[in-house]
Amino acid sequence: MIKKKFLFFLLFIHSLTFCQSYFPEANQKWENRKPEEFNIKTTTLDKAVNFALSNEYSGSKDLRIAILKSFEREPYHQILGPTKKRGGPAGMILKNGYLISSWGDPQRVDMTFSVTKSYLSTVAGLAVDQGYFNPNEAAAETIWDATFDGAHNQKITWEHLLNQSSDWSGTLWGSPDWADRPPTEGGIDDWKNRGFRTPGTHFEYNDVRVNVLAYSLLQVWRKPLPQVLKEYIMDPIGASRSWRWYGYENSWVVLDGNRMQSVSGGGHSGGGLFINTEDHARFGLLFLNNGNWNGKQLISTDWIKKAITPSSAQINYGYMWWLNKKGTSRYWEGVPENVYYAAGFGGNFIIIIPDEDMVIITRWLEPSRVGEFVKKVLDALP
């Protein structure tokens, strides 16, 4: 009887070990666990991975070609920042922090396009945690140059910039706001002479306005945003030394006598975050654990809660994180509504699945098939 109780005790301790999150140390190989140790069906999971491998993004591996083709409707669009030819499909699946599956080359550095926006949002969250501004404050109260001049732009808050409902009007780094993803109808004169929408009432995915946020955060931090991200997030989570964050050839400013580059929030015109899959996985694991990395709170839980709260202008968008909400065109059928994710051009995704303590990173998977892929991964769970 005593031996049987002792055996149950050992099994209980073993189960607790797997319930706790594992955090990979810097410069160490990620610790693997077999899917069956979590009662995950290996055969079903392998089928999901094979699905990702067989549904590679259909665009050119020469990303200059892919970018120019995808945004050819935009007047004056040009590539202003660095680009890099992409690799093939790659990804990682984490359960409680442990690696249970991977494919492709997780250490290859690639462009990640609008996944950068979720990193940019995090830099904003760090500023809020430092007390530099409140999301509900007008950005013009802090950014006193001409960026927010005019009756319309002065109404824009930091929150409006973060949830892409600002309708900011102007030109930044040579790109006018109206020329970014213009309407399908009308022409240049119609787009230039558009009416303004009250900030906070209309969602519009717009990289020029995202870059306004990046520029404004540079003014607040008064040092390059890649340095902020590195100091407060990437170094503490043990990220590699290989990631880079770029802006444009014309996005340089002088602050406090120092020349600094204002980075971009994506690779729409080149630039943005160039990063490997493993570093994405570390970033995703930080968010899965509500901003805590192995006992150290790097970004507040309050910020993360705000970042994944639906905005009034777009129910499936928070502070530059996408939300899986029913009734929207981006809803993934059969996937829990509290799943949230960072998404970028070409099928780059960091997907957080809170209920299952899982993080999925997938790269160069045809974007229209991502929801189906996530459902296949979840089908492998007990």
Residue-wise DSSP of 54-123: HSB--S-SSHHHHHHHHTTTSTT----S--------EEEEEETTEEEEEES-TT--EE-GGGHHHHHHHH
pLDDT range class, residue 9, cuts 50, 70, 90? very low
pLDDT at position 20: 62
CB 341, CB 322: distance < 8 Å: yes
Residue 302 has pLDDT above 70, yes or no: yes
- Which three-class secondary structure string do you get for 319-352? CCCEECCCCCCCCCCCCCCCCEEEEECCCEEEEE
pLDDT digits (tens, 9 = 90+) for 332-354: 999 999 999 999 999 999 999 99
Residue 340: how many other CB atoms lie within 10 Å = 23
Which residues touch 210 (CB under 8 Å, ≥6 apart)? 117, 120, 161, 164, 264, 265, 266, 320
- At 305, give phi and psi (nearest 5°): -60, -45
pLDDT at position 192: 87
* Domains detected in the chain: 2-113+270-378 (no CATH), 120-242+252-263 (3.40.710.10)
pLDDT range class, residue 2, cuts 50, 70, 90? low
What average pLDDT does the segment 297-306 reach? Answer: 98
CB 117, CB 265: distance < 8 Å: yes
Residue type, 285: L
Residue 231 is given by DSSP the state I
What average pLDDT does the segment 38-59 reach? Answer: 98
pLDDT range class, residue 7, cuts 50, 70, 90? very low
Question: How wide is the angle at C-alpha 269 spanned by C-alphas 263 and 270, nearest 5°?
Answer: 65
In a 3-state reduction of DSSP, which class is residue 173?
A: coil
Residue 93: how many other CB atoms lie within 10 Å = 26
Mean per-residue pLDDT of the chain:
94
Task: Return d(Cα 356, Cα 65) in angstroms, integer.
Answer: 38
- At 214, give phi and psi (nearest 5°): -60, -45
CB 139, CB 158: distance < 8 Å: yes
pLDDT range class, residue 185, cuts 50, 70, 90? confident
Do β-strands 358-363 and 348-353 pair in parallel, antiparallel, or remain unpaired?
antiparallel
Residue 1 has pLDDT above 80, yes or no: no
What average pLDDT does the segment 82-98 reach? Answer: 98
Which neighbouring-strand residues pair with 365? 56
pLDDT range class, residue 186, cuts 50, 70, 90? confident
Residue 157 has pLDDT above 80, yes or no: yes
Residue type, 17: T
Which residues touch 30 (CB under 8 Å, ≥6 apart)? 24, 92, 99, 278, 281
CB 325, CB 316: distance < 8 Å: yes
